[in-house]
Structure 1
Amino acid sequence: MTAAIDRFVAALPPIGLDELVERAELLTRLDRKYMLPVVDLPFVLGGLDGDVRVLEMGRGEREFGYRSIYFDTPGMDGYLAAARRRRRRFKLRIRTYLDSGLDSGRHFFEIKTRGPRGTTVKQRIPYDGDFRRLGGEARAYADTVLAEAGINSAGLRFVPTLTTFYRRTTLFFPATGSRLTVDTGLTWTLPDGTALRTDDRAIVETKSGRAGSDADRLLWSLGHRPCPVSKYGTGLAALRPELPANRWLPVLRRHFPTALHESLA
């Protein structure tokens, strides 16, 4: 992040993970995502009013690294369901928390499905298996959770399709129980090593009620609108142009005009 953003975050009062989970998990949330230039972040964060707290863990860390390895079928059923806006769709990933204080070095197998009225349902279990395949407890868990969401995964094979890295800062608004996350240092990598890095872009995500939070209204007033940016969907669409990407084309054209297929040395 920029020095201005670092100073803003450093000045905020902290909130611990246990308190954040206790106070925010009761919210029936609707996620709204925004992709914007990093240079716009000071205007967003500096415009936040009222009581704002920042997630702090470990030895005072307020920004944390995440790695996610996404799994899909060889036919890309999960990706295509999202691209075509199917009601029954899913994401499977192994998430690793890379920094101290945030389950450092621990891995979780996570499943995202769609809940009532467009809400996101995320379920997870600890993971200590192979990163190249899903087997044993993780596979059984996936089949059970997907079946509960109306998705029959019997006979499907899941393989790694994309790895993402980013740094996250989480803000909490006690008055409404809503949250805002800021992801920077975004990198996407295919299994063959082809990679895309967007250091000049950030993904801001709000997690609040249907009417939108004060943070949403601030973003709207600054000309930013929610967009269908998905770390999984957008990253694959950018790196694999043979896949249908109509849903993400506006994001790709605005934020990735020259970055497609950029390979990291």
Structure 2
Amino acid sequence: MNNKLNEIIRHLDSIGLDELKAYKLLNRIDTKYLCHSENIGQVLEKAHKDFKIQEIGSSRNSSYETLYFDTPELKTYFDHHQGKRIRYKVRFRKYIDTGDVFLEVKKKRNYIRTNKKRSEFAFATCLDDEHYRFMKDCVKLPESKFNEAIWTVFDRITLAGRNHLERVTIDTNLRFRNGSNEVFLPDLSIIEVKREKSISRSPFSAILYDEGIKPRGFSKYIMGNILLDPTIKHNRFKRRIVTVNKICYGTKCYK
């Protein structure tokens, strides 16, 4: 993170973790945006009147580690590739700054509505019977077992609306890895605007619109699979790959 962006972040009003719990929004509508990391400073300067920034201890930029699970036939990946209206992902997420770890099942319906359920566990690379009991309470599971798939590591800025129920995350320094490869995307920022389905207007989305940043679907799990293994079937996501490469490298080709 450059010095200018650090200075902008430092001058935002803060919100503590306990206060932010009111913004969980587990039944919500998510809208994602992609942009070059150089754009983030200007966006945050415009957001300071309507948003506060999460602060944990003295940190306003938190680190996350996520391990995704999938079946041997990659059911969750191909459910997304096939455009199924109901799909889900299974992952362990570790909040590095606090040490908290959750097993999460993130379910999406009708392309826009997201419901996330999670339970606190010790971090694990293999799922046991207790994990599966939790997962079965969330979604209908296939017969195949879930195995370790890919890892992601990233930094996150979290904003919360001052007077409205909206939360925004800005992810940077995204890394993907599996057993054999690693990919680093330092110039890509992923912005996600999260609001309860009852909230019709998003002040942060209005800022992004003014900056010429348009909504674009993006899944870390999907993109990580493709970048780590370009031979995987990915016809449905070719436009997204072009977008990512143009942002990161100024080219339409793989780098």
Query: Normalised by the size of structure 1, how large is the TM-score?
Result: 0.86
Aligned partners of 1:228 and 1:247 also within 8 Å: no
Q: Which residue of 2 aligns with 1:243?
A: 232
Q: Which AA in structure 2 matches 1:206?
A: V
Q: Which residue of 2 aligns with 1:30?
A: 29
Q: Distance in 2 between matches of 1:44 and 1:14?
A: 17
* C-alpha deviation, 1:71, in angstroms: 0.1
* C-alpha deviation, 1:114, in angstroms: 2.1
1:63-82 paired onto structure 2 within 5 Å: 63-82=61-80
Q: Distance in 1 between matches of 2:25 and 2:73?
A: 37
Unaligned runs of 5+ in 2: none
* Structure having the larger proportion of residues in strand: 2
* C-alpha deviation, 1:89, in angstroms: 1.0
Q: Distance in 2 between matches of 1:117 and 1:253?
A: 21
Instruction: Indicate the SS of the match to 1:9.
Output: helix
Q: Which residue of 2 aligns with 1:195?
A: 182
* C-alpha deviation, 1:239, in angstroms: 1.9
Aligned partners of 2:25 and 2:195 also within 8 Å: no
CA RMSD, 1 decimal: 2.2
Q: Distance in 1 between matches of 2:45 and 2:106?
A: 32
1:165 and 2:165 correspond: no
Aligned partners of 1:27 and 1:177 also within 8 Å: no
Q: Distance in 2 between matches of 1:164 and 1:88?
A: 23
Unaligned runs of 5+ in 1: none
Q: Distance in 2 between matches of 1:238 and 1:204?
A: 20
Q: Which AA in structure 1 matches 2:95?
A: Y
Query: Residues 111 and 26 of structure 1: is their aligned pair in 2 closer, same or farther, counting only changes over 3 Å?
Result: closer
Q: Which AA in structure 2 matches 1:81?
A: D
Q: Which residue of 2 aligns with 1:137?
A: 130
1:57-136 paired onto structure 2 within 5 Å: 57-58=56-57, 60-99=58-97, 104-115=98-109, 118-128=112-122, 130-131=124-125, 133-136=126-129
Q: Distance in 2 between matches of 1:244 and 1:136?
A: 31
Q: Distance in 1 between matches of 2:92 and 2:26?
A: 25
Q: Distance in 2 between matches of 1:252 and 1:156?
A: 29
Q: Number of matched residues? A: 249
Query: Residues 26 and 198 of structure 1: is their aligned pair in 2 closer, same or farther, counting only changes over 3 Å?
Result: closer
Structure 1 stretches of at least 4 aligned residues deviating more than 3 Å after TM superposition: 25-28, 209-212, 257-262
Q: Distance in 2 between matches of 1:11 and 1:17?
A: 18
Q: Distance in 2 between matches of 1:261 and 1:66?
A: 26
Superposed CA deviations along residues 202-238 of structure 1, whole A, max 9, x for unmatched, are 1111112564411111212222111111110111122
Q: Distance in 2 between matches of 1:117 and 1:200?
A: 27
Superposed CA deviations along residues 49-101 of structure 1, whole A, max 9, x for unmatched, are 5232111112x2111110000000010000111122212211000111111xx
Q: Which residue of 1 aligns with 2:165?
A: 177
Q: Which AA in structure 2 matches 1:67?
A: E
Query: Residues 246 and 116 of structure 1: is their aligned pair in 2 closer, same or farther, counting only changes over 3 Å?
Result: closer
Instruction: Indicate the SS of the match to 1:89.
Output: strand
Q: Distance in 1 between matches of 2:101 and 2:108?
A: 23
Q: Which residue of 2 aligns with 1:50?
A: 49
Instruction: Indicate the SS of the match to 1:256.
Output: helix
Q: Distance in 1 between matches of 2:237 and 2:224?
A: 10
Q: Which of 196, 201, 204 is equivalent to 1:215?
A: 204
Query: Normalised by the size of structure 2, how large is the TM-score?
Result: 0.89
Aligned partners of 2:85 and 2:108 also within 8 Å: yes
Superposed CA deviations along residues 153-184 of structure 1, whole A, max 9, x for unmatched, are 3x221011110000111011122211111111
Q: Which residue of 2 aligns with 1:225?
A: 214
Superposed CA deviations along residues 93-116 of structure 1, whole A, max 9, x for unmatched, are 0111111xxxx2232111111247
